[in-house]
């Protein structure tokens, strides 16, 4: 099993979710996060004062999937979250030891 974490632009969430649904991904955890990478922050001006916004809002998606579809999922996220501009985000993949469905106690890929 793999845990995929993707940091994407906030307005790309719907596109990514729709694309993942199409390849059969049935669940995900979504968090509003802030951070910076190469895009850095930007300046906002209010009433003549400049405020530097260092941490930009992003969306973090977490999905646990069967190892077999790892590449397909990564490709799907990459395609659907891509705008071709700086700040599109990152995708990380981790190996997962255990997964348990709380209600039934099912374990492993059946639980996801």
Binding residues for another protein, per CB under 8 A?
Answer: 44-49, 51-53
CB of 69 to another protein, least distance (A): 34
Angle between helices 70-80 and 13-22 (to 10 degrees): 140
- Our CB check for another protein shows the closer of 53 and 100 to be 53
CB of 36 to another protein, least distance (A): 15
Q: What is the CA radius of gyration of the chain?
A: 17
- Our CB check for another protein shows the closer of 49 and 95 to be 49
Distance CA 22, CA 12 (A): 16
Among 53, 57, 3, which residue's Cα sits nearest to residue 31?
Answer: 57
CB of 39 to another protein, least distance (A): 18
What pairing do the DSSP bridges indicate for beta strands 29-35 and 42-46? unpaired
- Our CB check for another protein shows the closer of 49 and 104 to be 49
């Amino acid at each position: 099993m793999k845990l995929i974490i993707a940091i994407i632009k906030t307005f790309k969430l719907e596109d990514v979710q729709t694309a993942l649904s199409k390849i059969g991904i049935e669940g995900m955890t979504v968090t509003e996060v802030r951070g910076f990478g190469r895009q850095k922050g930007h300046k906002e001006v209010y009433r003549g004062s400049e405020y530097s916004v260092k941490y930009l809002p992003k969306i973090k998606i977490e999905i646990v999937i069967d190892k077999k579809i790892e590449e397909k999922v990564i490709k799907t996220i990459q395609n659907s979250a891509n705008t071709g501009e700086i700040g599109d985000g990152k995708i990380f993949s981790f190996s997962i030891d255990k997964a348990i469905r709380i209600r039934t106690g099912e374990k492993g890929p059946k639980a996801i």
